[in-house]
Amino acid sequence: MTTMADTFLTRAGYEKLINDLEPLKKMKSQLSQDIAEAREKGDLKENAEYHSAKEKLGEVMGRIAKINDKLQSAKLIDDIKVPNGVVSIGGKVTVQDEDGDETTYILVGEDESDPAEGKISVYSPLAQGLLGKKQGEKVTVELPAGPRDFKVLKAGPAT
């Protein structure tokens, strides 16, 4: 089972976070400069520019801290050895529901989850119910809409 402290990312997702940091760091530097200039103008109680810049700086620093936390706790999915025949993070799974409908998913970290593209978060109820199950195994998964039965048709590496 995975914990919420784990941040699973593909290499592309990891690179995207690193690229997202650069403009935030530049913005932080600019806002710090704006605050210093506003401070030089005197009375800060009535200085809207100062208060606006301080508020924005707080938001930017929060976003930077959040990205840094994710990067520090990141586990690259690309480095995880996905076994054949077992539902695993970074792997692809094809399931058949109780209505006979087949669906294929790739289990990814929550930041890269995109159900429209068949990528579901490893923390989603469906993924949590399927993790560790073997090809051919039947499982009842507790979903928000109630329990559903699935059969794991195929499981293995996403590539």
Domain that holds residue 13: 7-76
Whether 29 is covered by a domain: the verdict is: yes
H-type alpha helices, the chain: 11-40, 48-72, 125-130
pLDDT of the chain, 159 residues: tens digit per residue = 444 566 777 788 888 889 999 999 999 999 998 888 877 777 667 777 788 888 999 999 999 999 998 888 888 877 777 778 999 888 899 999 999 999 999 998 888 888 899 999 988 999 999 999 999 999 999 999 999 999 999 998 877
Whether 134 contacts 154, CB under 8 Å: no
Which CATH number covers residue 68?
A: 1.10.287.180
Same domain, 59 and 101: no
Same domain for 41 and 103, yes or no, is no
Give the domain CATH number at 153: 3.10.50.30
Residue 2 belongs to a domain: no
Q: Is 140 contained in some domain?
A: yes
Residues 30 and 46 in one domain: yes
Q: Report pLDDT for 3.
A: 47
What's the burial of 11, exposed, middle or buried (CB within 10 Å: 0-12/13-18/19+)? Answer: exposed
| Same domain for 152 and 86 | yes
* pLDDT 10s digits, 98-136: 999 999 999 988 888 888 999 999 889 999 999 999 999
